[in-house]
Structure formats: structure tokens, C-alpha cells
Amino acid sequence: MSKELLVLIGYEEDVLETFREMASEYQLVSEFEEADFSKVEIVLGWEERLVDVLESGEHQLKWIQLPTAGVDKLPLDLLAQEGVRLTSASGMHTHSLTESIFGMLLARTRGILQSVEASKASRWVQEEIEPVVLFDKSVTIIGAGKIGTEVAHMAKAFGMQTTGVNRSGGQIDGFDKVYTNDNLAEAVAEADVVINILPLTPETTGLFNLSLFKQFKPGAIFVNVGRGESVVTADLLTALDQELLSFAALDVFEEEPLPAESSVYTHSKILVTPHIAGFMDDYLGTLRPIIEENLQAFIDREELPVSEVDLDRKY
């Protein structure tokens, strides 16, 4: 065989055999060191050593399928220069992220966080807790794509009013209204809860700064499961200290791991989770249908149907 398929994801042999059967014109290689990049056209997975391969220009790479959703750490300009298509696992975290978002919200609004802390000190704090009901509250979801739409549907199950923000501003199922990115300030001004699910791009880096936080509805809750670099952490702390916001639930951070000395850990109005909102109990099983659908399309010389990255837009 003159073409190779390199698999860098830890699937068991039965799954690899399925890939072999699907890509019968390719020799499947499962170790980076065994790959001949004068023959490798497809890579399932990612290793930093691929950057050297791409920079050499001496390869036959045509398509890389990532096992993760984020692409902001990848050499997108280099991939574009070398004519290599890229697909991500964007969208596979829909349910896990949605559940995490509402777990964070309920931990705050139902007094669960306060109760946990009080129970450690054997304190009964019933009269200190002021629960909030999500029913009829307004939520603005910034990043009204597949995940954002699932979050909106869940919010509707709680009886919330839903607003979305995306590039087009077109109406989407599950949202009462949708704003364009240019009208972000207007969208956050009316929300009791603001949820960021945006990918990291040059346009979204530092988007959530003090200027924007001042446009939030006073006392709003902010949830970030998008990218840490979208938020200016110092400005978020100022917004909380000045009571522009009442609470922030953060799963992603400007620097990860979050340094032990960070005041984010100890702030009384912040819930920290260590970038686990997208985790799930059967990651490879959930990823597999995405790989197989894209692999079949590539072999059939069709458009890649699942989460092809726009290398110019950076997501």
C-alpha cells in the first residue's frame, strides 16, 4: 500500500479493525515512530511532533481529525499554508457541558455551595441562605451553536427566558431572541445569567473585560465554560468586588493549571472547577461516530460533515 492512516488515539484493536475496513486502501499505523509521512494522508489524533512534519513541507498530509474541540493551540496558519484540512470534536461535549453549566448554577442558586461549606464546620445555616429560583429568570448564551442550543433547551425546561448571541443573529430553535455579536452589550444588559461558550479567536480574546462587565445587569451570574483567555481575570475580580456581578462559575482560566497562589481560588463569589465541564465517562465511544462519519466522507471524496475547522476564522 502506498497510503497510510495514522491513528494517535488509544482505541482498542476491534475499533482499529473497523477503521482498517473502512479505509481499505490505507495501511493503518498506530505509532508515530512507525509512520512514513511521505505516505501518511490521514491522521486521527494530534501530537506536537506533527508541527515539525508540517513545517518540513515533506509530507502527504491531507486531513487531521482532532480528538478534542478546542483548536486555539494549533498551528492553524501552517495547516492552511500546507493545504491540510482539520476537523475537531466540537459538539461531542454538548450534554456534558450542559449538565456542568446547570450544576454550577444550581450549586449557587439553591444554596448548595453555602451548605457544603457550613456542614464542614457543623453549622446549620438555613436562615443565612437566600435561594434563587431559575424559573422566569433570563439567560443570555454567548455562542449559540450546537452546545448553546442544547443549553437553551435545558434552560427552557427550567422555565427561563433565553437569549442567544452569534455571528448572524438569525433565529434559532430554543431561543426567544438572538443578537449578533455586535449587539453583545445589549444582550447581556437584560440577563440574570450570562453563559460564555465561545471558542478562542483573536476577536474573543479578552472579550469579557471591565467595560463589558459594566454593561451586565447588576447582580448577574457569569458562567465561563468557553475559553479562559476570553476573560480578563483581573477585571472579573474587580467586577465581583464592585458588585457588578453577584457570582462567577469558572471552568476555564487564562492560565492552566490555575496557579495555587491565584486569588480566584479563595474568592467568596467564585466557583472553580478544573476544566472538567466537558468530561464524560465514555469519551472514546462518544468520539468514534464523529471519526467514522468524517472518515467515510473523506474516503468517498465528499465534504467532511462534522466540525470542519475554518482555518481563516480560527474555529
Give the position of cell 482555518.
Answer: 311
Give the position of cell 505516505.
Answer: 39
The residue from 59, 85, 93, 227 that is catalytic is: 227
User: Up-side HSE of residue 44: CA atoms within 13 Å toward CB?
Assistant: 27
25 is catalytic: no
The residue from 20, 95, 275, 288 that is catalytic is: 275
Name residues whose C-beta falls within 8 Å of residue 15's C-beta, 6 or more positions apart in sequence: 284, 288
49 is catalytic: no
CA nearest 69: which of 199, 203, 196?
Answer: 199
153 is catalytic: no
Name residues whose C-beta falls within 8 Å of residue 220's C-beta, 6 or more positions apart in sequence: 188, 191, 192, 193, 194, 245, 246
The residue from 256, 302, 303, 313 that is catalytic is: 256
292: left (phi > 0), else alpha (psi -120 to 50), else beta?
alpha
Phi, psi angles (nearest 5°) of residue 155: -60, -40
| Interatomic CA distance for residues 295 and 292, integer angstroms | 5
Angle, to 10 degrees, between the axis of helix 13-22 and the axis of helix 283-299?
Answer: 20
| Interatomic CA distance for residues 60 and 47, integer angstroms | 17
Residues annotated catalytic, as ranges: 227, 256, 275
